[in-house]
Structure 1
Amino acid sequence: MFDFDQYLGFLAFLGILTLGFWLMIFLVTFVIPYWVGGALIERLKEIREEKKAKRLNA
């Protein structure tokens, strides 16, 4: 069915596919929400500081 070289190539393909799958799961469930959440928190802090500066200057 498979020569030894083809078998090793197939195993390498499966390994790369599996690593890519788990990397995507990790990025979608942890990294991207963490990044977006942090950006939102920082933006809200900036908005609050702008409002506070306007109140003090007015």
Structure 2
Amino acid sequence: MMFEFDQYLGFLAFLTILTIGFWLMIFLITFVIPYWIGGALIERLQEIREEKKAKRQNS
């Protein structure tokens, strides 16, 4: 038995949402999260360098 038209539209909507979610997760895992972690690390290293420089100047 074939799908009813409503079932077909529901199935297409499900596949669309599933596909969008899949590619969003791939994008987040490969680009956004490493960019966020890398930026946080660089910022923290700069803060540590500035703290050391301030200690050297105060001594």
- Shorter-normalised TM-score: what interval? over 0.9
Name the CA distance, whole Å, in 2 between partners of 1:2 and 1:55: 75
Q: What is the identity, as a one-letter code, of the residue corresponding to 1:45?
A: Q
Show the counterpart of 2:22: 21
Unaligned segments of structure 1, at least 5 residues? none
| Over 4 Å off, 4+ runs | none
1:13 Cα deviation after fit: 0.1
Identity across the alignment (%): 86
Unaligned segments of structure 2, at least 5 residues? none
Report the TM-score, using the length of structure 1 for normalisation.
0.99
RMSD between aligned residues: 0.4
Name the CA distance, whole Å, in 2 between partners of 1:50 and 1:43: 11
1:56 Cα deviation after fit: 0.4
Name the CA distance, whole Å, in 2 between partners of 1:47 and 1:36: 17
Q: What is the identity, as a one-letter code, of the residue corresponding to 1:15?
A: T
Report the TM-score, using the length of structure 2 for normalisation.
0.97
